[in-house]
Structure 1
Amino acid sequence: MNTPISLSAYGWDEQRADAFAPHAAAGLLPARVLRVFGTLCDAVTAHGTVRADLTPLSARDPLDWVTAGDWAALDAAGDPAVLRALLPRRNVMVRSTSSKRSEGQVLAANVDRVVIAVAACGDVDLGRVERFLALAWESGAEPLVVLTKCDLLPEPGLGQLVADTAAAAPGVTVLAVSAATGAGTDVLTAALSGGTTVLIGQSGAGKSTLTNALVGSRAQAVNDVRDADGKGRHTTTTRDLLPLPGGGCLIDTPGVRGVGMFDAGDGVGQVFAEIEEFAARCRFHDCGHTAEPGCAVLAAVGDGTLPVRRLDSYRKLLRENAWIASRTDARLRAEQRRVWKRRSAEGRLTGEAKRGERQGRAGRAGDGRR
């Protein structure tokens, strides 16, 4: 423990205080998780920052693992301190892992905004931006797309990129910023004031450099992109929650190579809201938008209202999300079967033990009668 801190700067409010009341009665302290490494984490309390053991909160389901942004009940009596319980999460941002188990990975918890960082100086993959947006919308947080390193892309290229990105992100603010020159950072700083923001993007998108510019210090180490292919190195290796000078918090995350869907059907629908509007006008309610007569989606493609790229991306994300959902359902069913088998086996063992006890008592009673 060190310098006293106001937890309200980290998002503490009356609702969380009410949820924490039973833990306060047990003598525990409210704490927000700053970063996790192995079985330990750094957390902030009203008495300062502390390192804590999170072993008591170990869970089989990755969606229940402790992550940056979580609020927890902390037992400060030991060294290290111990996290005893998690407060209910208001929301989480989840992506699918690369494992064959089709599990979800929580990128951050209790966030109000998701900033999607995209390097303006490279080949911008709009389909990847749409993936990030689907996950952001699904979490319930407000997405914001930031084109970083805009000083490396002069006009008119930058203006066109902003327009193309905005077309792929309907209803989402798109900002062009440069941490090197400071261009656009004042607008971004104002947009992030208050609440908790998670910063996501590929390696080399300049997230750590942008984080340092927003925090106002060299909070994160930075590396140059590789000269060979222009791709970034994994500079940030943990998810770090940092306070912002103007209020609020920022969670910087490691760069991600893959952005898998995980139960993000509603998020996909929100990213492609115009396609869903067209689909509502199709002749058949179960139209697949491939070759059906009276398909309003295909008609929009035909008259140029809907770009082919958007429809292809929409189809791809829906297929992927459906596949992940089916794999997840199969995994859950398999786990449920294992639970049933274990309980059945335990029931048999208990029954056999009871029968053995009854037979033993009967035998002892018979010996007494003789």
Structure 2
Amino acid sequence: MEDTMNQNTQNLFGFHEQALLTAQKYPNLTLGRITEHHKDRYIMMTSDKEMDAKVSGKWMYEVRDPSLYPTVGDFVLADTTHETAIIHELITRTSVLERKTAGLTSDGQLIAANIDYIIICQSMNENFNVRRLERYLSMAWSSGAMPVILLTKNDLTTQPDTFFNNASSVAIGVDIITCTDQHASGYQELEAYLKPGKTYVFIGSSGVGKSTVINHLLSEQKMETSEVGLNAKGRHTTTSRALFITSKGSIIIDTPGMREIQLDHADFESTFQDIQELSSSCKFNDCTHAKEPGCAVQKAIHDGILPIDRLHNYQKMLKELKYATERQAYLERQRNKSLSKLKVR
């Protein structure tokens, strides 16, 4: 690793101070950032080139936890003297976005790491879903990055204020911006929001226009896109996560459209901050906000301050979290039993 790295190079790749300090401890390894991930293969970007990469044999033998393997956005240290770089070190992440995988397991799926902002895309048509937005916000808040809501396709509605207000009602303290691809000025608000050297990951359901937005930001057709008509029906476009750099120096990570968002360590206190604050005024500390006397949450609903649908979604997601926690504990007990049997033998 070179002793010095100029400010322009640092900004270009989004290298943070911890990455640079860690790299100095390994002079024989090269600092890079993962730009693509395909099963057990990676593409790594260094200060002067892009390389195929894979983790070392020692890593594969010793590391069993999938969350400790590199993902898009990770900073790594690798031996680049071979045609395929060999990754030896994963630098501590400043943030990590993950979601619970579909199915019965409690494993998490890494989406991106070392991100500054999570751009949650929702289209202004019948694909817009407040309850789904709350789930995205929960996932975003738990990552350590800052969520931002991007309302796309504002040319498809005659009531953009309705969508904006619905998003605002559940996105406390979150910036909301809009865009359209129907005219040249449709992306001005988004372009002004993106800063050089900062990393932005775009997430959202299939068909909300993520790839179209990113293609515009990159000024070229990097990703396959599909037409989505007024009926909002479209096919899954992006199939893998990838990192790109815009001409203005912003770092963009695109992700596949998410058909399912399950819960895992979501930050509900941030997502449902309004309900949390109301709960502190309830008569009983263990109030379920159902029929208890002196319930501040129910009073807020009665007074028209809090939508009842928001409470119902809060309760539903809380129940899912409880189930996920109990299942994780059960799986851990089963794992410990299996280990005990092995020791006895």
- Say yes or no: TM over 0.5: yes
Q: Partner amino acid for 1:79?
A: E
Q: Partner amino acid for 2:286?
A: D
Question: What SS does structure 2 have at the residue aligned with 1:139?
Answer: coil
1:92 aligns with 2:93: no
**CA-CA distance at 1:323 after TM superposition:** 1.4
State how 1:64-75 maps to structure 2 within 5 Å. Answer: 64-75=68-79
**2-side partners of 1:307 and 1:211: how far apart?**
34
Q: Cα 1:167–1:64, aligned 2, differ >3 Å: closer, same or farther?
A: same
Corresponding residue number in structure 2 for 1:348: none
**1-side partners of 2:183 and 2:250: how far apart?**
24
1:226–1:233 CA contact under 8 A, matched in 2: no
Corresponding residue number in structure 1 for 2:3: none
Corresponding residue number in structure 2 for 1:199: 202
- Which residue of the other structure, out of 112, 116, 132, is the alignment partner of 2:120? 116
Could you report, residue by residue, the CA deviation over 1:84-118 in whole angstroms, capped at 9, with x for unpaired residues?
22111111112111131111111111111000011
Q: Partner amino acid for 1:175?
A: I
Give the TM-score, by structure 1 length: 0.85
> Between the two proteins, what is the percent identity of the paired residues?
32
**2-side partners of 1:183 and 1:166: how far apart?**
23
Q: Partner amino acid for 1:224?
A: E
2:53–2:87 CA contact under 8 A, matched in 1: yes
Q: Partner amino acid for 1:48?
A: K
Corresponding residue number in structure 1 for 2:80: 76
Q: Cα 1:46–1:339, aligned 2, differ >3 Å: closer, same or farther?
A: farther
Select between 306-315 and 213-222 the one with higher mean Cα deviation.
Answer: 213-222
Corresponding residue number in structure 2 for 1:290: 290
**1-side partners of 2:324 and 2:318: how far apart?**
10
**1-side partners of 2:185 and 2:338: how far apart?**
57
Q: Partner amino acid for 1:333?
A: R
1:244 aligns with 2:246: yes
Corresponding residue number in structure 1 for 2:321: 321
* Structure 2: segments with no counterpart, 5+ residues: 1-5
Corresponding residue number in structure 1 for 2:307: 307
**CA-CA distance at 1:304 after TM superposition:** 1.1
Question: What SS does structure 1 have at the residue aligned with 2:150?
Answer: strand
Corresponding residue number in structure 2 for 1:362: none
2:178–2:190 CA contact under 8 A, matched in 1: no
**1-side partners of 2:68 and 2:134: how far apart?**
26
Could you report, residue by residue, the CA deviation over 1:291-316 in whole angstroms, capped at 9, with x for unpaired residues?
11111111111111111011011111
Corresponding residue number in structure 2 for 1:39: 40
**1-side partners of 2:292 and 2:186: how far apart?**
46
State how 1:27-176 maps to structure 2 within 5 Å. Answer: 27-54=28-55, 56=57, 57-58=59-60, 59-154=63-158, 157-176=159-178
Corresponding residue number in structure 2 for 1:270: 270
Could you report, residue by residue, the CA deviation over 1:208-228 in whole angstroms, capped at 9, with x for unpaired residues?
11001112222212112389x
Q: Partner amino acid for 2:14?
A: G
1:175–1:184 CA contact under 8 A, matched in 2: no
Select between 51-60 and 142-151 the one with higher mean Cα deviation.
Answer: 51-60
**2-side partners of 1:19 and 1:246: how far apart?**
27
**CA-CA distance at 1:177 after TM superposition:** 0.4
2:94–2:144 CA contact under 8 A, matched in 1: no
Corresponding residue number in structure 2 for 1:6: 9
- Which residue of the other structure, out of 22, 27, 36, is the alignment partner of 2:25? 22
1:75–1:83 CA contact under 8 A, matched in 2: yes
**2-side partners of 1:8 and 1:343: how far apart?**
51
**CA-CA distance at 1:333 after TM superposition:** 3.1
Q: Cα 1:274–1:103, aligned 2, differ >3 Å: closer, same or farther?
A: same
2:79–2:86 CA contact under 8 A, matched in 1: yes
Question: What SS does structure 2 have at the residue aligned with 1:143?
Answer: strand
Give the TM-score, by structure 2 length: 0.91
**2-side partners of 1:338 and 1:182: how far apart?**
61
1:116–1:199 CA contact under 8 A, matched in 2: yes
1:127–1:313 CA contact under 8 A, matched in 2: yes
Q: Cα 1:166–1:144, aligned 2, differ >3 Å: closer, same or farther?
A: same
Q: Which has the higher helix share?
A: 1
Q: Partner amino acid for 2:234?
A: G
1:151–1:181 CA contact under 8 A, matched in 2: no
Q: Partner amino acid for 1:23?
A: Y
C-alpha RMSD of matched pairs (Å): 2.0
**CA-CA distance at 1:7 after TM superposition:** 4.2
Select between 27-36 and 329-338 the one with higher mean Cα deviation.
Answer: 329-338
2:99–2:262 CA contact under 8 A, matched in 1: yes
Select between 42-51 and 179-188 the one with higher mean Cα deviation.
Answer: 179-188
**CA-CA distance at 1:184 after TM superposition:** 4.4
Q: Partner amino acid for 2:342?
A: R
Question: What SS does structure 2 have at the residue aligned with 1:6?
Answer: helix
**CA-CA distance at 1:145 after TM superposition:** 0.6
**1-side partners of 2:106 and 2:305: how far apart?**
36
Corresponding residue number in structure 2 for 1:364: none
Q: Partner amino acid for 1:245?
A: S
**2-side partners of 1:13 and 1:170: how far apart?**
28
Select between 124-133 and 267-276 the one with higher mean Cα deviation.
Answer: 267-276
Select between 319-328 and 88-97 the one with higher mean Cα deviation.
Answer: 319-328
* Structure 1: segments with no counterpart, 5+ residues: 346-370
